[in-house]
Every structure is written in C-alpha cells, then in structure tokens.
C-alpha cells in the first residue's frame, strides 16, 4: 500500500545578503507547517526548532560494504567524500514543528537514555585510571576502553530524534521537502496549507539495494 506522504514546496532563501553558499544551498519553506504533530496528529502543545538537510548520493554509496570498509581506511577519502556531499547538500533552517505531549515524552525518554549511555561510556573509558573500578582486577581493566568506545558511539547516535519526529527527507534537487507517512490529520492540514499529496510511495534506497555485486 502506498504511503500517504506529503511534500512541502521549498524556495531559495530570502535572507538579506546571503553568502554564495547560502544562495545556492539554503532553502526555506514556501508553506506553513501544520499545528499537529507528524507521528500522532495530535495538537502541538510545544514546538521544536529543526534544521534539516538532504543527503546527496555520492559514488561511495554505491560501493559494496567491503569496499566501503577499504575506502574508509584512508582519511583523505573520508574527507573528500564529506566535501563532495556538503557541496551538493541543501538545507532548510529555522522550522518550527509542532509536537504533542507523547512526542515530548518520547524525546525525554531518548534524552534520558542517551545520558545514561553517556555516563556508562564515561565510566568505562575512564575505567583504567578511575578509583570507581578498583573492584575489578588490575590486568583486565584497560580492556574496558573497548566497550567504552562502543557505548560512546551508541550514546552519540542515540541523541538526535528530529528525523524521527519529523520523518523528513529532502530530495537532492532541493525543490521540496517530503514528510514520509505522516498521521492523516497532519497530511490533511498540510495539504490545506499548500503541501501536495504524493501518489507514489517514497522509498529511500536502503543499503541492501545500494550494494553492487561482489
Ligand atoms: Zn505526537
């Protein structure tokens, strides 16, 4: 079944004296955002500010994962890839999205979880030199750094919730902003405010489909 995605028009920035980069890559919404939240269609009791951007495809995305691993070995490759993406990225600033109490609750839970993960990461990473880990025998203590780094990455990755609360994808041409599968109440209000209904399913190309044959 096709997802009832909606798409908001974007226009080039109208800020005074934009830099060259802002003129090319900064967009603003050419319609108003609904007053209900994306996930539940409930009236927003608070709003949050979001800055969302497109993720342009680069040649790297088409590599199979072993090649990606190889490619990542060179820091200059990683830098080049980042520069290439940044050069074609389109971003929209300063949007105010509505969120209902359950959206807020979800965000709070995620923040709490991230804080706990961060505390655990700090405990593990400082394990080898911290008095808190004296109950662990001396020799395996330096090994705590390894799970510590894994938990650090998990903590960092678990912080942002904006993509989940907005379900936004910005196609590469930067003419519109797609909200995937919003609550019908959100879609309804969005269309009244100038968004358009997308008839076909918007499917992001997953990593499985991106893989090239070995
Ligand atoms: Zn909500």
Is residue 79, in this structure, part of any structural domain at all?
A: no
Residues 33, 195: contact at Cβ < 8 Å? Answer: no
Taking the centre of ligand 1 as the mean of its atom positions, its distance from the CA of residue 101, in whole angstroms, is 6
The alpha carbon of 102 and the centre of ligand 1 are apart by a number of angstroms equal to: 5
CA–CA dist 31, 196 (Å, integer): 10
CA 205 – ligand 1 centroid, Å: 27
Q: Domain limits at 18?
A: 6-54+89-210
Q: What is the CA radius of gyration of the chain?
A: 21
In a domain, 61, yes or no: no
Does a structural domain hold residue 68?
no
Determine, yes or no, domain membership for 35.
Answer: yes
Tens-level pLDDT at each residue, the chain (214 residues): 445 789 999 999 888 998 999 999 999 999 999 999 999 999 989 899 989 989 888 888 888 889 988 988 888 988 999 999 999 999 998 899 999 999 999 988 988 988 999 888 888 888 777 777 777 777 777 777 788 888 888 888 777 788 889 999 998 888 899 998 899 999 999 999 989 988 655 555 444 444 444 3
Distance 71 CA to ligand 1 centre (A): 40
With beta carbons less than 8 A apart as the criterion, state whether 164 and 180 touch.
no
Domains contained in the chain, number: 1
Q: Is residue 84 part of a domain?
A: no
Q: Are 204 and 169 in contact (CB under 8 A)?
A: yes
Ligand 1 centre and the CA of 16: distance in Å?
35
Dihedral sign computed on CA atoms, order 34, 39, 42, 43: negative
Tell me, what's the pLDDT at 163?
86
Q: How far apart are the first and last CA of the chain?
A: 33
In-domain check, residue 83:
no
- Name the residue among 13, 34, 58, 72 with its Cα closest to residue 185: 34
Taking the centre of ligand 1 as the mean of its atom positions, its distance from the CA of residue 131, in whole angstroms, is 44
Q: Answer yes or no: is 22 within a domain.
A: yes
Is 72 inside any structural domain?
no
Is residue 138 packed enough to be buried (19+ CB in 10 Å), middle (13-18) or exposed (0-12)?
exposed
């Amino acid at each position: 079944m096709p997802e009832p995605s909606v798409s908001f028009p974007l226009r080039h920035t109208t800020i005074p004296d934009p830099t060259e980069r802002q003129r090319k890559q900064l967009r603003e919404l050419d319609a108003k955002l609904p007053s209900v939240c994306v996930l539940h269609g409930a009236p927003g009791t608070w709003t949050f500010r979001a800055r969302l951007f497109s993720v342009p495809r680069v040649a790297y995305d088409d590599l199979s994962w072993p090649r990606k691993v190889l490619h990542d070995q060179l820091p200059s490759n990683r830098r080049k890839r980042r520069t290439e993406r940044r050069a074609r990225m389109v971003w929209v600033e300063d949007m105010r999205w509505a969120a209902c109490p359950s959206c807020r609750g979800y965000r709070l839970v995620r923040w709490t979880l991230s804080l706990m993960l961060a505390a655990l990461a700090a405990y593990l990473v400082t394990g080898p030199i911290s008095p808190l880990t004296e109950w662990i025998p001396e020799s395996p203590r330096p090994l705590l750094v390894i799970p510590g780094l894994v938990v650090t990455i998990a903590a960092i990755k678990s912080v942002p919730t904006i993509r989940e609360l907005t379900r936004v994808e910005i196609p590469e041409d930067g003419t519109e902003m797609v909200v995937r599968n919003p609550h019908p109440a959100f879609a309804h209000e969005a269309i009244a405010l100038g968004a358009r209904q997308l008839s076909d399913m918007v499917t992001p190309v997953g990593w499985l489909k991106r893989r090239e044959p070995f």
